[in-house]
Amino acid sequence: MPKITYVTAEGVEYPVDVGDQQSLMEGAILNDVPGIIGLCGGICSCATCHCYIGPEWAARLSTPSEGELAMLGRAFDRRPESRLGCQVVVTDAIGGMVVHLPAHQSTGDN
């Protein structure tokens, strides 16, 4: 299983094994990582799995769909490296990736 490290806005790291073909959101929820909420269950309709992925990893991912970009347009604290965790599929190619989580999700201010 690929290892993904989720980093909260407070700097706390959660390195977890995420199943191949699971989403970043699923991996976080199944491993009790705070800061990924996933209210919609992964159907790209709420942005509560908003995360930041650095450019060194983003190049290994598929480009965001128009639906994901539209939902990110409503996300708090959007940055160029913003993605929705429900739309990022984990594979061996991204094992070791570090994912940063926005502050508003750790405070529950969605």
Q: What is the CATH number of the domain that holds 22?
A: 3.10.20.30
**What is the reported pLDDT for 106?**
74
pLDDT digits (tens, 9 = 90+) for 63-92: 999 999 999 999 999 999 999 999 999 999
* 6 pLDDT higher than 50: yes
**What is the reported pLDDT for 110?**
45
Helices marked H in 1-110: 24-30, 55-58, 66-72, 103-107
- C-alpha to C-alpha distance for 11 and 92, rounded to whole angstroms: 25
Instruction: State the average pLDDT over residues 38-59.
Output: 94
* 57 pLDDT higher than 90: yes
Count of domains observed in the chain: 1
Q: What is the dihedral of CA 74, 76, 82, 87, to 10 degrees?
A: -60
What is the span of the domain harbouring residue 83? 3-107
